[in-house]
Structure 1
Amino acid sequence: MRDKKGTHRFWGVLFYLALMVTIVSASYAGVRFCSNLVTEQSYERLRDAAEAFAVGTKNGQQGKEKNKAAKGMERESEAGDDRPEGIDFAELSSINPDIYAWIRIPDTQIDYPVLQREEDDTYYLRHNSSGRYAFAGSIYTEEANSRDFKDPMTVLYGHNMRDGSMFQNLHFFEDKTFFAEHPEFFIYLPGYRLTYEIFAAYRFDDTHLLGAFDFSKKKGRRAYIREVFAGISMGQNTREDVKVTAKDKLVTLSTCTSDQADGRYLVQAVLRKKEKTRQ
């Protein structure tokens, strides 16, 4: 009789523990979902505030209808002025002075402000562009990089979110067809639009690029460029015909991989054009 009571008690405790784990897990998932929803809504408001319009894709008008991330990718120039539309950074700065740039990649959801926090490189890992805590964080750079994109290598970080937000869509470039059909992306600064040509996309580890490689000297930059074009990882996509030299200004977009805790997926590009905007 005692054995039966002990067995019932054991299974009762086990059931209680399993129930508590289920409740806690569901609550955590709910909190994350709400946090991500609020974060994406805040970015949508920022897009409206920025009045962002980019020029440079033939299918821009079609993109506006089919994809929010491609909103305004193409717009007719004003009479006598063929400069691309820019970003209203004055308005964005009034919301958060840490916003200093904007990135947009055609045919993806990547359409976000870029932030940098003074004396705290990890702040935007878990804070949105309004400065509120958010699991999805923001797209950001570290203080090792200047805000003018004149460094030999600038690294932008963003989470690999399951809902496709932040930098998750960088994984689109794992597909060879997508990689081949999307050779460029745009970064906006106050008064300027920078056009970057993508030359490589590949899996890497969590090595801190700016700390592990010496980009301050041409010799170090040449060695790194040779390494990338030689093929750093299996499944790497590379544009062999793109010329990249130690004099060029490079950008790396970095996000996590879902199947490897210390894995990263990198998309790398070289600055090809800097033009003034109308904004």
Structure 2
Amino acid sequence: MAMARGSANFNDNEGSNNTGGLIRYFIPWKGDKSSEVVRKIVFIASVGLFCVSLGQLKSYLNTTNGERSRAHGLVEQYEPKFDENVDYEANTGSDDIDIADPDESYKKREVQKWVKDKKLLDRNDDVVGWIKIPGFKDSDGDAFMSFPVLQGKNNDEYLYKDIDGNYYESGSIFADSWSIISKERQSDNITIFGHHMGWLGTSFTHLSEYEQGADFLKDHAVIEFNSIYESKCKYAIVSCFMINTDAKDDNGDLWEYIGYRDFNDEQYRFDEWYDEITRRSWYSSDIKCTEDDKYITLSTCSKLVEEGVRWVIVAKKLTPDDDIDAIKASYKERADKDIYFPKIWKDIYGNKTVYKGWEY
């Protein structure tokens, strides 16, 4: 009946002018009852809200496609491809050089062929390497994790810039500016940063999938990271953990994991670092780690807490003595009670691990 009355009202107002009647049906008009005025205002507001939402959806899709296309374009153009039968490291030089040694006759590391051939440094000489998690792909077969790694003058430079220095919401993947990646040497542990773009799925977003359990870790245990002076380097994941970035979020305690670059520094000793990444880790394994090994630390935000928490993954550079199949088989989920969580996490989730999907 309401629809019938509405139609009748529309026809009465319409007269012989369809356009005028249509306008009067939707636009407040002189002589309208208050209920009609309210109905028309609500309708207009709804149309306006729909248009705004449609515009936001279009913007979201355009941004998402644009950011993903940009990332995939870099992969297609520059991602290193290695032939397992070729020894790419024959001319890399020693990685254990005392740069204070007055005898400069040592052999320096050389920029690798995969960098030179693709002229990657011509694009930006702040590029210091490439990081990839093999086999980690979306439904279209595109890699979630395959990026050039840049290193700026400070750790803010590439937060919202692409490889060409243009504004880029997802930012670049970048190495800690205080870490050393040079012809002479490489820091013992290099922290590599990337945004968690929960609504886009770009940058380091999909690192959050390592929160879901040991089975996922076993399937994606290896990270490939090659500085521009290296080739075919693989790292096995050692630890995954949540950590606060402000002392107030953990009863005044703050462990500065970023500061552990070289383990010969008295303030940043290997045993302290290893104890911390072990007690905080969501997983255990049989992987052997020493201060003579090389490590990378991947750091991104966690959307599981509004702010102030980082999801961190530490991986060790594999040596000929490491059996990767045995390492994968050894991964286990640690009991929640044995894991150290910061207070800001425990206040929300208690002393337990949580996984809500890569968006978080």
Bigger fraction of residues in strand: 1
Q: 1:32 to 1:176 in 2, by over 3 A?
A: same
Cα pair 1:251 1:269 within 8 Å, conserved: yes
Q: Which residue of 2 aligns with 1:223?
A: 272
Q: Which residue of 1 aligns with 2:224?
A: 186
Tell me the number of residue pairs that the alignment of Structure 1 and Structure 2 aligns.
242
Aligned mates of 1:26, 1:246 — CA distance in 2: 55
Deviation sequence 1:5-46 (CA, Å, 0-9, x none)? 8xx79x969x86x88777666655644543343233223222
Q: Are 1:242 and 2:242 an aligned pair?
A: no
Q: Which residue of 2 aligns with 1:209?
A: 257
Aligned mates of 2:135, 2:53 — CA distance in 1: 34
Cα pair 1:159 1:167 within 8 Å, conserved: yes
Q: Are 1:154 and 2:190 an aligned pair?
A: yes
Aligned mates of 1:46, 1:219 — CA distance in 2: 36
1:81-160 matched pairs, under 5 angstroms:
81-83=86-88, 87-89=114-116, 91-108=119-136, 109-119=144-154, 121-148=155-182, 150-160=186-196
Q: Which residue of 1 aligns with 2:312?
A: 266
Aligned mates of 2:268, 2:125 — CA distance in 1: 36
Q: 1:271 to 1:32 in 2, by over 3 A?
A: same
Q: 1:34 to 1:171 in 2, by over 3 A?
A: same
Give the letter for the 1:94 counterpart: D
Cα RMSD (Å) of the superposition? 3.5
Aligned mates of 2:65, 2:178 — CA distance in 1: 31
Q: 1:213 to 1:102 in 2, by over 3 A?
A: closer
Give the letter for the 1:105 counterpart: I
Q: Mark the runs of 5 or more structure 1 residues left unpaired by the alignment.
A: 55-74, 275-279
Deviation sequence 1:119-172 (CA, Å, 0-9, x none)? 4x2122111222211111111123111224722321111112234321122122
Cα pair 1:102 1:187 within 8 Å, conserved: yes
Give the letter for the 2:258 counterpart: L
Cα pair 2:238 2:315 within 8 Å, conserved: yes
Give the letter for the 2:237 counterpart: I
- Which is worse superposed, 203-212 or 138-147? 203-212
Give the superposition deviation at 1:47.
Answer: 2.1
Cα pair 1:35 1:134 within 8 Å, conserved: no
Give the letter for the 1:151 counterpart: S
Q: 1:142 to 1:154 in 2, by over 3 A?
A: same
Give the superposition deviation at 1:211.
Answer: 4.6
Give the superposition deviation at 1:189.
Answer: 2.3
Q: Which residue of 2 aligns with 1:70?
A: none
SS of the residue aligned with 2:114? coil
SS of the residue aligned with 1:107? coil
Q: Percent identity?
A: 23
Larger Rg, first or second structure (1 or 2): 2
Give the structure, 1 or 2, with the largest relative contact order (CA under 8 Å, sep 6 or more): 1
Cα pair 1:155 1:252 within 8 Å, conserved: yes
Q: Mark the runs of 5 or more structure 2 residues left unpaired by the alignment.
A: 1-32, 90-111, 137-143, 247-255, 321-360
